């Protein structure tokens, strides 16, 4: 859900010319997917929003389609595949398995996360640009389709509640801001008014006024109505029936579902108990580094007192949203100037820095990367959360910027979109273990380009590293070991210097999204392991710029494929 944009690109671009795999079964699979996506696109054009959530029947249709393709590809003799097609086959099956799991464990009945879901995602249509009357008609059709779209999801979620596949009440309680903001009496105060706010130069004024009037009517009679329905559903139906206990273990087939999510998000075959133990070891390792910095700054007191001082000292927090954005921009520009030290190839797509949208900011993370198609008129954006400024620590801002902007998500995703030698589905695919592992690895690169000069920023980097180590412990604890929400909050609060607002939003996120939090640390550990291996074997021949360019040269990968890529690189440069 975090990168739903990438799926939309995948669907939209599948019919465009793309490099074809060599193996005929893989060629055939891509054509079948293109045809399948084209059918869904036509359905969307006919209604306004996709009909892709028409309950169990639609979920089964998707499941059966992907099961058949998965079997065809897995039946290929591996010896018939060159390395490129080995990657193509593995990544196609990786994406199929996610669709297959969605039906097998009925995840489609639970279409929300702690930050929102189907009802917050629709606000993206407000970025529509109206140039013609046809554009206006299509946008108004989407607005008028919103009540139907919401009601379909309510039906799915009612069934989820009946079966015990739902988010717990603690997660849902924070949703009110995400829908209240859209319940307006003046259409011009609505997010959805944005496309009607500026007349295109080629449209007659009378025609434009007619379009605006239809837009006003659609906003008030459909968009606002849809969000009133969202409010009534969550407050009158969902909250009263939502589970009290967090964790996938309480779902039907809960532990089997969680283990499947562990496999999907880490792209390994490790059991969740093994990952729990890796997390404990990482927590112990990082804690020693945090203790060293506490002594370096001369703090008198234990780690708990030091963390409390960081959370409460005003000098570590911005006083205005503009100040926070300016500081993030300054850090990002400093990093931009150092990137040639670490990379031979840099993306041509620029990025901007913007606030997290106000309607989702209260339940959102401290920052996020919002990608954009390389063919779009919009740049990628590094989002910085301005909500609750006393919770937005400046000592973690360097690590956040390295992760979300450069050399983290913006650099990795933009370069992937530029890889014209790859099939389109790979240019738009996102494997969490690779992408989030890369983002966390990027935080550590700050030391190699001269960031973290302030010991408090170094502590911020360590607290971010500790945060991801804690995720291995907390995620497994919540979903497989019976941890309560309070236990999880206490563990994260004691081991990191994240603000308590962030601690609480993070724990809700782990509860709502089983397994995803494991991707970061598991991916980062593998990247560091492979860099160490390459450096050790190649010695003086090792070039960090060449290593990074190679690692990003095939787009997003599973950890097993990444290891094979690095081994080929080592063999070629020995």
Q: Of 82, 104, 126, which residue constitutes the final position of a domain?
A: 104
End of a domain among 188, 211, 244?
Answer: 244
The answer to the question of residue 571 being in a domain is no
The residue to which tokens 């339940």 are assigned: 363
Which candidate, 179, 172, 266, places its Cα nearest to that of 475? Answer: 266
Do 477 and 495 sit in the same domain of this protein?
yes
Q: Does residue 229 sit in the same domain as residue 273?
A: no
Give how many domains the chain has, as a whole number: 3
Token pair 């724990």 in the structure block, residue: 507
> Are 196 and 136 members of one domain?
yes
Query: Residues near 302 by Cβ (< 8 Å), separated by ≥ 6?
Result: none
Pairing of strands 351-355, 380-384: parallel
- Whole-number pLDDT of residue 54: 57
Is 325 a member of any domain? Answer: yes
* b/e per residue 468-494 (b: at least 16 CB within 10 A): bbbbbbbbbbbbbeebebebbbebbbe
Does the residue 200 lie in any domain? yes
What angle, rounded to 10 degrees, do the helices at 519-538 and 544-551 form?
A: 140
What pLDDT does residue 117 have? 93
Per-residue pLDDT at 473: 98
Whole-angstrom Cα distance, residue 266 to residue 517? 9
* Residue 536 buriedness (CB in 10 A; 0-12 / 13-18 / 19+): exposed
Give every strand in the sheet of 367-370, ordered side by side. Answer: 351-355, 380-384, 367-370
What is the pTM for the complete model shown?
Answer: 0.93
Q: Is residue 9 domain-resident?
A: no
The reply to whether 205 and 293 lie within a common domain is: no
Three-state SS for 486-499 is HHHHHHHHHHCCCC
The two three-digit tokens of residue 131, written as one number:
């140039």
Residues 502 and 521 in one domain: yes
Q: Is residue 567 part of a domain?
A: no
pLDDT, residue 56, reads 77
> In whole angstroms, how far apart are CA 277 and each of 274, 419, 471, 503, 518?
5, 37, 12, 22, 12
98 shares its domain with 117: no
348, 489: one domain: yes
Residue 99 lies in domain: 23-104
315 with 428, same domain: the answer is yes
Looking at the domain assignment, is residue 249 inside a domain?
no
Domain contains 318: yes
Residue 147 resides in a domain: yes
Mean pLDDT per 10-residue segment, the chain (574 residues): 36 53 96 90 69 69 95 97 97 96 95 94 92 95 94 94 96 91 97 96 95 98 98 97 95 98 98 98 98 97 97 97 98 98 98 94 94 92 97 98 98 97 94 98 98 98 98 98 98 97 97 98 98 98 98 98 98 95
275 and 238 within one domain: no
Same domain, 235 and 315: no
Backbone angles phi, psi at 422, to 5 degrees: -100, 150
Asked if 120 and 234 touch (Cβ cutoff 8 Å), the reply is: no
Last residue of a domain, one of 218, 244, 270: 244
User: pLDDT digits over 329-351, tens only?
Assistant: 999 999 999 999 999 999 999 99
- Based on the fold, state whether residues 380 and 493 are members of the same structural domain: yes
138: exposed, middle or buried (C-beta count within 10 Å: 0-12, 13-18, 19+)?
Answer: middle
Residues 319 and 358 in one domain: yes
What does the pLDDT read at residue 4?
A: 35
Q: Which residues pair with 352 in a beta bridge?
A: 381
């Amino acid at each position: 859900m975090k990168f739903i944009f990438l799926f939309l690109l995948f669907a939209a671009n599948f019919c465009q010319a793309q490099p074809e795999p060599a193996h005929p079964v893989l060629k055939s699979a891509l054509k079948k997917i293109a045809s399948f996506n084209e059918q869904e696109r036509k359905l969307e054009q006919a209604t306004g929003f996709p009909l892709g959530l028409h309950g169990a029947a639609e979920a089964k249709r998707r499941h059966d389609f992907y099961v058949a393709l998965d079997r065809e590809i897995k039946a290929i003799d591996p010896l018939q595949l060159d390395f490129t097609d080995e990657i193509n086959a593995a990544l196609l099956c990786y994406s199929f398995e996610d669709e297959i799991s969605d039906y097998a464990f009925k995840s489609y009945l639970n279409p929300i996360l702690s930050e929102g879901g189907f009802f917050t995602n629709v606000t993206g249509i407000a970025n529509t640009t109206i140039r013609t009357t046809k554009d206006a008609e299509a946008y108004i059709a989407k607005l008028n389709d919103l009540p139907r779209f919401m009601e379909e999801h309510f039906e799915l979620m009612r069934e989820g509640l009946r079966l015990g596949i739902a988010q717990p009440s603690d997660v849902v309680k924070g949703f009110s801001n995400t829908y209240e903001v859209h319940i307006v009496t003046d259409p011009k105060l609505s997010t959805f008014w944005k496309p009607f706010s500026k007349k295109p130069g080629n449209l007659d004024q009378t025609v434009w006024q007619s379009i605006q009037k239809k837009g006003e009517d659609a906003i008030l009679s459909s968009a606002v109505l849809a969000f009133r329905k969202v409010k009534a559903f969550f407050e009158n139906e969902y909250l009263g029936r939502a589970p009290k206990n967090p964790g996938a273990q309480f779902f039907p087939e809960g532990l089997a579902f969680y283990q499947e999510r562990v496999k999907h998000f880490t792209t390994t075959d490790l059991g969740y108990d093994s990952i729990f133990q890796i997390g404990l070891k990482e927590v112990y390792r990082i804690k020693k580094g945090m203790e060293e910095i506490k002594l370096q700054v001369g703090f008198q007191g234990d780690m708990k007192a030091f963390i409390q001082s960081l959370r409460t000292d005003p000098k570590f927090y911005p006083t205005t949203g503009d100040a926070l954005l300016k500081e993030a921009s300054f850090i990002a520009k400093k990093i931009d100037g150092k990137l040639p030290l670490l990379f031979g190839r840099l993306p041509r797509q620029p990025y901007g820095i913007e606030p997290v949208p106000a309607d989702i900011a209260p339940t959102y993370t401290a920052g996020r990367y919002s990608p954009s198609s390389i063919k779009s008129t919009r740049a990628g954006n590094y989002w910085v959360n301005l909500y609750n400024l006393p919770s937005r620590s400046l000592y973690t801002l360097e690590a956040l910027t390295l992760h979300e902007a450069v050399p983290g998500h913006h650099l990795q995703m933009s370069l992937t979109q530029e890889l014209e030698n790859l099939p389109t589905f790979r240019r738009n695919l996102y494997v969490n273990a690779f992408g989030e592992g890369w983002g966390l690895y990027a935080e550590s690169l700050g030391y190699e380009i001269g960031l973290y000069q302030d010991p408090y920023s170094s502590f911020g980097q360590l607290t971010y590293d500790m945060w991801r180590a804690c995720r291995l412990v907390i995620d497994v604890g919540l979903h497989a070991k019976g941890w309560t929400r309070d236990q999880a909050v206490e563990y994260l609060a004691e081991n990191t210097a994240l603000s308590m607002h962030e601690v609480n939003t993070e724990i809700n996120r782990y509860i709502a999204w089983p397994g995803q939090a494991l991707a970061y640390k598991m991916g980062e550990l593998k990247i560091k392991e492979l860099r160490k291996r390459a450096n050790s074997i190649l010695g003086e021949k090792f070039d960090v710029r060449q290593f990074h360019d190679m690692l990003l040269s095939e787009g997003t990968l599973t950890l097993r494929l990444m290891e094979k890529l690095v081994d080929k690189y080592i063999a070629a440069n020995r």
